[in-house]
A and B are shown apart, each in its own frame.
Chain A
Amino acid sequence: MRKLLATIWKDLYLNYTDRMALMLNLAAPFLISLVIGMAFGGMGVGDISISEINVIVVNEDQGSSLPDGGALNLGDQLVEFFVAPPSEELDNLLAAQEGDDWAAARALVEDGESGVVAAVRIPADFSQQVTPQGMAMTLGQGTVELYHKIDAPISSTVVESILTGWANRIATGSITTKVGIEKTVERLGVRSMGVITELTGSLEEAYTASPITLETQDAGGARQTINPISVVAPGLAILFLTIGLTFAAGQLITEKQQWTLQRMIATPTPRVMILAGKMAATFLSGVLQMAILLVATAFVGANWGKDYLAIVLLTLAAVWAATGLGALFASLVTKPEQLGVYGSGVMMVLGALAGTFTSTGFLGDAQFLSQLTLNWWGIEGFTALALGDGLVDIAPHLLVLTLMGAVYFVIGVWRFNRRLEF
């Protein structure tokens, strides 16, 4: 045991008295995460690795009667917009269902086990408020209520954005709603094109003057905002972890080249203890790197969730998998310089496959490739925790990362041990 500790201590000492290693492992990841987080400040929801947000839409809208005897129910349109979204992108993003009881819907949001992130209520007079009555061009104020989980700020903001977008479309008469507006105008009995144009313009102006208000309330009573760094932090953290640990594992090759590894093996210390000591040092470096990244990015606004045990376990699992990957990679190259060229490149590709930099949409039918990377499992796990999921929800992520790490580690150590035979 003393020999194992001596090996670990020596490697950590070498790592943390080396300015380059310090820069690579600790300072650079934090600074770059910060810079990229700021650069991605205006990122749209399409770049967030979120899907099937569970929303309940309670439509109490009674609709409004038009002068020609027709009826218009904007609440129905909103329900349709959520339940059968007009675009594939929205369809992937939402898993909405219609509810009929507002109190029950709120209860589901408050229930941590239900998976329901938000509830939307369209009040009974909504259509009446936002539809011109008679020949009067004065519009009322329709209010849509959004009730969301406090610990799922990203999903809540996504739902809020969709509602706002829909409201704006109503206001500007675009897409399907515009048809509704034109029908309204027709039903008003005005046939002259000039008058239609004039009235449509007046209506649009009226709608643009904010006919719909979104009233937002979270289940915990306090409003949370999303810092863009929350979106990029998990992906970058895992990316830097894999790069950093690949270089750390590369110390095995350096030690073989400078013969200190052979000298260690010539002592009465089992090989497996030597390799385990070196990997343990790499693992601890990774844990330290992740801890600093998590704390530092949280300090500037990143949200990592509230289930601290799950965060710790997921961090350990991700570091374990990255350590194994590093060991495997170190067993495949023969010179430390190769790690610089191939290591960073391969880790960047793995990061891209996992959606670190952008949506994985470019993979098309090969989306499954993402799931072959430890990055994907790490990103998904951390994102799930940020969205309010807990330990049970990320159990598959923990299992897969642990298994990946074990497989990489065994193959890497086996290959490296064989290569020690010169």
Chain B
Amino acid sequence: MAPIIHIQDLRKQYDPPNGVWAVKDVDLDIEEGEIFSFLGPNGAGKTTTISMISGLLTPSGGDAIIDGHSIIKEPMAAKEVIGVVPQEIALYPTLTARQNLRFFGQLYGLTGAELDERVDEVLDFIDLRDRANEKVEKYSGGMKRRVNIGVGLLHRPKIVYMDEPTVGVDPQSRRRILDTVKALNREHSMTVLYTTHYMEEAQELSHRVGIIDHGEMIAIGAVGDLISQIGENDTLRLRVGETPDKLLLRLQEIEGVTKVSADQEGEITILAKRGRRALPEAITVADEMGLRIESVKIEEPDLEAVFLHLTGRALRE
């Protein structure tokens, strides 16, 4: 069976011929019914990739076949099966939720009783039917997010693209959005393409994850498979206050340590086999250099560690 999304050699250069390559030759197949997450830091190329396969951006090369339709040659047919949920709250603030849904529903070709039915269905799904006739500008951030998602579901798409839908929302709304994504996949059999820079979200939601950095897809696979790539490495996090290069070099020399990185806030991340055994020596090194360790944390292997392993940098750097 052919994948529902087939991306081949997709690339994008801004301001050619000398501009930056935001996406470099991405190849990817996503199967029907999958939740696939693009994981990568800000500016990695996630939104650019989504924008190209949504028909918002013209690729500099390559193509994406969406449910059998080329986004280059048959963009309208491809867009029929896609629902897009942008990172921004892409709604008219002075219109009500119902008016917003009706307008975008019409652009998806819905009319008459079918339009009314779908709008009510979506309002029920996002649990806003009782406040549907209030202007969006009067909603809380979480409610706006729910309407933003609802617009992308109006035409019952086979595939829904969600671009960082939890950015800037409170923990309660975030939980609700993640549950919504799971429900869409489980109850409505939707294929979900989800972008995030939160490792925890990708890990919780995804059947498979694609790790993207500097426009390149550096790893693709199920969460468990990706984690197993880095073996039984633990992640040690030491907060030192200052992180001189000499300290990082000394930590790198400890037996079992595979990667060392530091962020600007003075946190050192160490990837090490049997991390607990490396910890006493790391404390000793810091002590010898006259540095006081403020806190220590040991974590089991996760996608953050995979990213660190692959790029030498922490996901949030």
Q: Which A residues contact B (CB, under 8 angstroms)?
A: 2-3, 6-7, 10, 13-14, 17-18, 258-260, 262-270, 420-422
Contact = CB atoms under 8 A, between A and B. Distances in A.
B52 to A, nearest CB: 11
Contacts of B228: none
B277 to A, nearest CB: 49
Contact of A3 (B54, B80, B91, B106): B106
Q: Which 8 pairs from chain A and chain B are nearest by CB?
A: A259-B90, A6-B106, A259-B88, A267-B107, A263-B90, A268-B79, A266-B84, A268-B76
B289 interface: no
A258 B86 CA distance: 11
Contact of A269 (B56, B86, B107): B107
B86 A14 contact: no
A342 B269 CA distance: 51
A269 to B, nearest CB: 5
A267 B79 contact: yes
Which of B54, B76, B77, B106 has the most chain A CB atoms inside 10 A of its CB?
Answer: B106
A263 B86 contact: yes
Which of B51, B56, B82, B151 has the most chain A CB atoms inside 10 A of its CB?
Answer: B56
Which of A3, A10, A270 has the most chain B CB atoms inside 10 A of its CB?
Answer: A10
Given A14-B92, A268-B79, 11 more contacts: A2-B111, A259-B90, A262-B56, A263-B86, A263-B90, A265-B55, A266-B82, A268-B77, A270-B76, A421-B58, A422-B51
25 contacts: A2-B109, A3-B106, A3-B107, A7-B107, A10-B92, A10-B103, A13-B95, A18-B94, A258-B88, A259-B89, A259-B90, A260-B90, A260-B91, A262-B90, A265-B55, A266-B84, A266-B86, A267-B108, A268-B76, A268-B77, A268-B79, A268-B80, A268-B107, A270-B76, A422-B51
Nearest to B55: A266
Query: How would you classify the secondary structure of chain B's contact residues: helix, strand, loop or mixed?
Result: loop
A180 to B, nearest CB: 74
Nearest to B51: A422
A421 B15 CA distance: 10
Interface string B78-114: 0110101010111111110000000110111101000
Nearest to A273: B107
Contacts of A3: 106-107, 109
Given A259-B86, A259-B88, A270-B76, A264 B58 contact: no
A273 to B, nearest CB: 9
Contacts of B104: 263-264, 267
A3 B103 CA distance: 9
Nearest to B107: A267
Given A14-B92, A270-B76, A422-B57, A264 B107 contact: yes
Interface in B181-204: none
A421 B92 contact: no
Nearest to B78: A268
A6 B57 contact: no
B177 to A, nearest CB: 18
A6 B151 CA distance: 16
B273 to A, nearest CB: 44
Nearest to B91: A260
Which of A2, A267, A421, A422 has the most chain B CB atoms inside 10 A of its CB?
Answer: A267
Which of A10, A263, A265 has the most chain B CB atoms inside 10 A of its CB?
Answer: A263
Given A3-B106, A421-B57, A17 B94 contact: yes
A300 B111 CA distance: 45
B84 A263 contact: yes
B156 to A, nearest CB: 14
A2 B105 CA distance: 11
Contacts of B91: 258, 260
